[in-house]
Amino acid sequence: MDSFRLSHSIRQVRSAMFVLLSLCLTTFSLSGCQTVKLSNQPGHTGGASQAALDTPVAGNWQISYSVGGETRSAHMNISQNGASFQGLGTDDSDQQNFVIDAGAINGKSIRFHKRYHVDENPNLPPIVYSGNFEMAKGAEYSGPYMSGTYKVVKNGQTAEGQWDAEIAGGGGVTATPTQQQAPPPVNSNHRPHLSGKWDAGYEFEFKTVRSSMYLEQDGNKITGHGMDRASKEAFNIKGVYKYPEVKMWVKYLPVKASGKNKAKGERSLEFRGKASVVNEAEYQGTRMEGKTNGGGMWMAEQVR
């Protein structure tokens, strides 16, 4: 399969898919996670609530929550559909993966479920998060902000605590199409930043595997996670980026046998390629493409 066909396949999938799927993923290693403070967040104002359809819940969030007097952190990526939302994420301390579902926002009120081990034990009770949403304006952070309490009942015992969350990377809301600047020309010498969500596809055993990836760039280092859309297999990502050269190691997590699904062991792939900024009729933005260690083509396009 040549790169044109792979790119076209990726774009077809993007137009039909939901951004997030239920999965187990690894963490974004964002340095600012521990800056979130529980309760009495300075500089936040209540303000007038927006209509649910205009509330910007979608995006990459860093969340902090209290457990036994300690503050723990995690990262999650949320996809929104009107007044409802869903997502996925990973705890920073032990890289436990979780799913966000049953998300709903009504004015300033917000509520969602956080679930661990969805595939292995779908009957585990959810951790119920509830609280308020607002647009914060402060010296250290401006942007969407959520806070409240969580509660879970397991084996007859109740655990609860506080939580709050900010958009990862310092806030700000994704620009509307009328606010976006024209993309750089194809021959631009601009070094694109690789943090964000990606639509990806690669050749494996004579098939095209389509995935969603979430990358975080820190200098020349890349970390992230992702999931194959068809098989729901999750993977971790580590890599090196020296523009324009990109090298990523994708490690698939082991899958336990469940129902009709067979157990699968850990496996790894190596992606080598280059990053570039493109300006085409069907896609404008950052693209990575190259070959895997198995000789197949791969391509990834950044989602804006």
pLDDT digit string (tens) for 219-261?
999 999 988 888 888 899 999 999 999 999 999 888 777 666 6
Same domain? For 41 and 150 the reply is yes
**Has residue 23 been placed in a domain?**
no
Using an 8 Å Cβ cutoff, are 93 and 66 in contact?
A: no
């942007």: which residue's tokens?
143
**Has residue 27 been placed in a domain?**
no
Same domain? For 189 and 122 the reply is no
pLDDT given at position 48: 36
Same domain? For 194 and 162 the reply is no
Greater model confidence, 274 or 40? 274
Structural domain boundaries, residue 118: 33-167
**Domain limit, last residue, from 167, 197, 226:** 167
Greater model confidence, 144 or 29? 144
Same domain? For 185 and 277 the reply is yes
Say whether pLDDT at 70 is over 90.
no
Model confidence band, residue 115 (pLDDT cutoffs 50, 70, 90): confident
**Has residue 28 been placed in a domain?**
no
Same domain? For 154 and 199 the reply is no
3-state SS string for 120-154: CCCCCCCEEEEEEEEEEECCCCEEEEEEEEEEEEE
This prediction has a pTM of 0.43
**Domain limit, last residue, from 167, 199, 234:** 167
Same domain? For 259 and 154 the reply is no
Q: What pLDDT, in 10s, does the model give residues 32-69?
A: 333 344 434 444 444 433 444 456 788 888 888 888 77
Structural domain tally of the chain? 2
Calpha distance 60→18 (Å, rounded): 15
CATH number at 222 reads 2.40.128
**Domain limit, last residue, from 167, 202, 230:** 167
Calpha distance 250→3 (Å, rounded): 20
**Has residue 172 been placed in a domain?**
no
Same domain? For 105 and 73 the reply is yes
CA 168 to chain centre: 10
Same domain? For 137 and 258 the reply is no
Same domain? For 197 and 110 the reply is no
Q: What percent of the chain has pLDDT over 70?
A: 72
**Has residue 112 been placed in a domain?**
yes
Same domain? For 191 and 246 the reply is yes
Q: Which two tokens stand for residue 28?
A: 């974004």
- Cβ neighbours of 55 (radius 10 Å): 22
Same domain? For 192 and 228 the reply is yes
Same domain? For 159 and 194 the reply is no
